[in-house]
Amino acid sequence: MSRIGRKSIEIPEDVEVKISGKKVSVKGPKGTLDFDFHNDIETNVAEKKIKVSTNKNTKQASSLWGLTRMLIANMIEGVTKGFEKQLELQGVGYRMAVQGKKLNLTLGFSHPVEVETPENLEAKIDKNVLTISGIDKQKVGQFAASIRALKKAEPYKGKGFRYVGEIVRKKAGKKVVGVEK
């Protein structure tokens, strides 16, 4: 049994939730999000609360129960507050700049890397910190992960992208050992 699935979801005053068939639509001050849930899951809206339940007693239904509840809760949080991820770029000669909807990155390759910012996401740069923000938690996290994958923080000097607050464990390089006579 899902413990998260049992919890009901509070609907804030400025958010409108519509359920039609197997589709949930959430509209708030920052935008609109849609989600199609599985046939084994049922949702009910009553008294500014959403209750998610299963209509079958299968392993798949119980695993989708908590997932569906969290996805709907994330949609409500996204249209009210939004989500953001921050990436920090460290390294001599590594640079990044935003030009319109493109990110221009100089990461030590023989060529500059251009990355198109996905629709409904916003990228801002403050010194060496890239802030990615949007209303869809999955899209924000996926875009941040794809940027980080271009140049992960390497373990010897720590150069590359890392999440703000992430600790990169550095390895010791080759050590010169004195020769005994």
- Determine which helix (DSSP H) or strand (DSSP E) holds 114, and give its type and residue range: strand 113-116
**Residue 175, phi-psi category: left (phi > 0), alpha (psi -120 to 50), beta (remainder):** beta
Q: 61-110: per-residue pLDDT in tens?
A: 888 999 999 999 999 999 999 999 999 999 999 999 999 999 999 999 99
**Are residues 155 and 88 part of one domain?**
yes
- pLDDT tens, position by position, 110-162: 999 999 999 999 999 999 999 999 999 999 999 999 999 999 999 988 899 99
- Residues 134/122, Cβ–Cβ less than 8 Å: yes
Provide the β-strand partners of residue 85. Answer: 132
Residue 178 lies in a domain: no
CB distance 157 to 171 below 8 Å = no
**Same domain membership, residue 62 and residue 48:** yes
The residue segments making up the domain with residue 156 are: 83-163
Backbone angles phi, psi at 134, to 5 degrees: 180, 180
Q: Please list the residues that pair with 49 across neighbouring strands.
A: 10, 46
Domain tally, the chain: 2
How many beta carbons lie within 10 A of that of residue 119, not counting itself?
9
